[in-house]
Structure 1
Amino acid sequence: MAARLPRPHRFDLYVGLAGLLGGLLLWGIGLGLRPAGEAMVLLPGAWPLLVPLVVMAGCEVLRRAAPRTALLTATAALIMDTVTQGSLVTVLMYTDVMYAAVLYGTPASARRIPRITGLLTVAGTVVPFAVWRVPEALLIGVATGVVAFAPASTGLIVRNHREAAEAARLRAEQTALLAEMDRTQAVTAERARMARELHDLVANHLSAIAIHSTAALSLDDPDTTRRALHVIRENSVEGLAEMRRLIGILRDDSGGPGASPGLSASGQGGIPVAPTLDGLDALVDTARANGLAVGLDAGHGEGLPAPVGLAAYRIVQESLTNALKHAGPGRVSVALRRRDGSLDIVVTSPYGDRDGPRAPGSGAGLVGMRERAALLDGTFEAGPEDSAEGKVWAVRATLPAGEDEEPA
């Protein structure tokens, strides 16, 4: 089955029709390129020039749909036109077909056609002059350059400009797409960070409130109820202060003078700084007040990068919260050691065998700790282990801490 030519562009139909009508007008008034008696005119008379004119008009119709076929056919029509009286419109349409062949053709054609026409122009200039030795012979090369090389070169220049503009447009679209992807990733990362902060801030205090409120409701003992209400009040105040701190940071993440004022745990104005390992003693004291028997063994931790100190604090805080909700009776151990440019964190608690936790949880604690370690290129693992004291739940994290410093 023969291949069908692509459908011509509407504008090309108009161009071909305009060329045909223009050529017929010149033919009607008897205007040709050469006199009928000239030696090159092998087909004298007005009628023969109509054949290349019609063929060239058809090539104009295919200039964009089939540029290579149109150029080859147009070249044959131009050669036929040279043995007739010739039509100026036929020559003009050929220059447009040559231009379109470079502009709309394949990249290989766009490279080859200007080279070929350039060589023909040089040959058409040098060879006739070398043979006839008359200045008029140079006009053959000039005519070849005007009819073939000039439109081919123009088409190549326009094509290069279009390709450069298209490449710039694609780069702009790609840049916009990458920017949108970066924005989406930044929003996702920020939402994950906020989720971790909210969980770590609220879970510890609310777990203590839930456990002690359950004890106050379960035991008909005024002293126990009073102690439970005291712990509930302390955790409520501390949790409210932490929430105000986080809200203040979210209002103005710079934390500078223009930050929205919050309330610190002492009730004074200003947003407190993010917790560090210096606050571990207070964190352990709070856990002991909540009913945990906690032992703290914190090694030298000065000079840690702020993100590492915050992550370590949050991992210990969440581990103590989990121990408060899940651990069995016994001692909870917290150990931090800095060595070989890293900070090792180990929190162990008696492995509980109860049916359920003392307080409900979201199940996001381990996920948040693992994310904090991963964001710093650290490691994290948690699970039951066997020890000398029996079965324990162990949380182990290693965070990069920079160069070790000698203690003062």
Structure 2
Amino acid sequence: MLTSIRPDRDAVALAVSGLLGGLLLWWLGLHTQGGRSPLAPWVTLVPLTAMAGAELLRRAAPRTALAIGTLALVADQFTWGSLATVLMFTDVLYAAVLYGPPAAARRLPVATLLITVASTIGFLAWFREPEALLIGLVVGLVSFVPALTGVSVRSHRAAADSARLAAAQTARLAEMDRTQAVIAERARMARELHDMVANHLSAVAIHSTAALSIDDPETSRSALKVIRENSVEGLAEMRRLIGLLRAGGEDEPPAAAPTLAAVDTLIRQTNVNGASAGLVCTLEDDRGPEPRALPTPVELAAYRIAQESLTNALKHAAPGPVVVRLGRAGELLTVEVTSVYGERPGPTAPGSGAGIVGMRERVALLGGTFEARAEQGGRDAKVWRVRAELPLNEREMRE
């Protein structure tokens, strides 16, 4: 509690300077009342000392300082008077407006204005001389002007604080945007890496397991051939991803993004990789004899959805048909992949669960709809169906 009212260096400097200045004026015999007071000259030092004490509290306790300063100023009028006391009062009043509570900052300028007007009118009525206006002017300089100055400085400081706060908030928002951009880019890279490599690594895992578990030279040779093909293609996909990350570099130009025209290649790869598991993959393209060019983001998303769905079928689907259907109705592209749902004999590849999440995120970014679930197929069989609807209209994609 005591540390909260400890005076700062500026307050001490002002108090000491005002007190020494007042002592010098008193020693030189310079008084504001001209010796009209019946009291002894040394009494002038009492309000001077009290005002110096008020200066010490100008910032730590501005309202207390103003109360002490007002009493000291009134007492000074009954002594020989000191200019230092008056000057220190103006600073105490200024500090009360600047450092005091908001209510004081609003009321003190109004109160000092009313005191100035009332003093001017009172002295005019008393002296009935135009010189009485000078007394009102002095009262205004001592009270209203310091209060008005305090309000002005306080307003400028508040505006500066608001500007600094706004700048800090802007910086925080910019940092949040940067962080979100980094997270989004990492998510995009993770999707690309998963979609590019998962298909080939799944085939490698399945066929390497088959080669190790089946003691047949021909089967092992066939499995090693598939493993080599997928390893080479996976390496090429990794190089393509590196090319995307280094797009604009001097060493190599960025590789083109895959499109739906390459789905036939995916079908062939899946038939080769899934032959040992009894998978037969076919493509049903209902987009027409000459499919119209699609927006690049839609082409890439549709290709990745088909690729990831075939990868999941290679990992988990039971023996049977795997059908990829491409369709278009107006401004909507449909990608649907179905496979037999059930227990699968033979080796399988582990899944991370990120594939469906990645497909759902891709579709959501384009404003489409996505579903992946098991459904009742023909007879007693169940099928796993992945279906995505991607809007082709740029306005719908932005919305």
Is 71-80 or 202-211 further displaced after alignment?
71-80
Does the CA contact (< 8 Å) of 2:5 and 2:61 recur in 1? no
2:297 is aligned, of 297, 307, 311, to: 307
Give the superposition deviation at 1:285.
2.0
User: 2:164 aligned with 1:166, yes or no?
Assistant: no
Q: What are the equivalent positions in structure 2 for 1:135-150 lying under 5 Å apart?
A: 135-150=130-145
Offset of 1:189 from its aligned partner? 1.4
In structure 1, the partner of 2:281 is 294
Aligned length: 386
1:203 aligned residue (190, 198, 205): 198
Cα deviation for residue 322 of structure 1 reads: 0.7
Equivalent AA in structure 2 for residue 10 of structure 1: D
| TM-score, with length taken from structure 2 | 0.88
Matches within 5 A, 1:37-52: 37=36, 41=37, 43-52=38-47
What residue number does 2:152 align with?
A: 157
Identity across the alignment (%): 61
Q: Partner residue of 2:175?
A: 180
| 1:111-161, Cα deviation, whole Å (9 max, x unpaired) | 222232233334434553465442311111210121112211222222122
Q: 1:225 to 1:4 in 2, by over 3 A?
A: closer
Q: Distance in 2 between matches of 1:34 and 1:336?
A: 103
Q: How do residues 234-245 of structure 1 correspond to structure 2 at under 5 angstroms? A: 234-245=229-240
Residues 56-112 of structure 1: CA distance to partner in whole angstroms, max 9, x if unpaired? 122111111121222133122212211221111110110000110111012222222
Write 1 or 2 for the structure with the bigger share of helix.
2
Conserved in 1, the CA contact under 8 Å of 2:209 and 2:347? no
2:22 aligns to what? 23
Q: 2:224 and 2:244 mapped to 1: Cα distance?
A: 30
Structure 1 Cα separation of the partners of residues 346 and 35 of structure 2 = 111
User: How far does residue 318 in structure 1 lie from its aligned partner after superposition?
Assistant: 0.7
Kindly tell me: are residues 164 and 220 of structure 1, through their superposed partners in 2, closer, same or farther at Cα, counting changes over 3 Å?
Answer: same
Give the aligned partner of residue 264 of structure 1: none
Which residue of 348, 351, 363 corresponds with 1:361?
351
Listed as ranges, the gaps of 5+ residues in structure 1 are 262-269
Q: Distance in 2 between matches of 1:108 and 1:308?
A: 62
SS in 2 for 1:296: strand
Question: Where in structure 2 are there 5+ consecutive unaligned residues?
Answer: none
The 2-side partners of 1:96 and 1:218 are apart by: 95
Written as runs of structure 1 = structure 2, the 5 A alignment for 1:97-136 is 97-129=92-124, 132-136=127-131
* Aligned twin of 1:350: 340
Q: Deviations 1:257-293 (Å, cap 9, x if unpaired)?
A: x5532xxxxxxxx543111222222221221222231
Residues 356, 174 of structure 1: alpha-carbon distance in 2 compared, 3 angstrom cutoff: farther
1:233 positional shift: 2.8
Change (3 A) 1:23 1:356: farther
Q: 1:356 to 1:67 in 2, by over 3 A?
A: farther
Q: Which runs of structure 1 show a deviation greater than 6 angstroms over 4 or more consecutive aligned residues?
A: none
TM-score, structure 1 normalization: 0.86
Residue matched to 2:375:
385
Aligned twin of 1:265: none
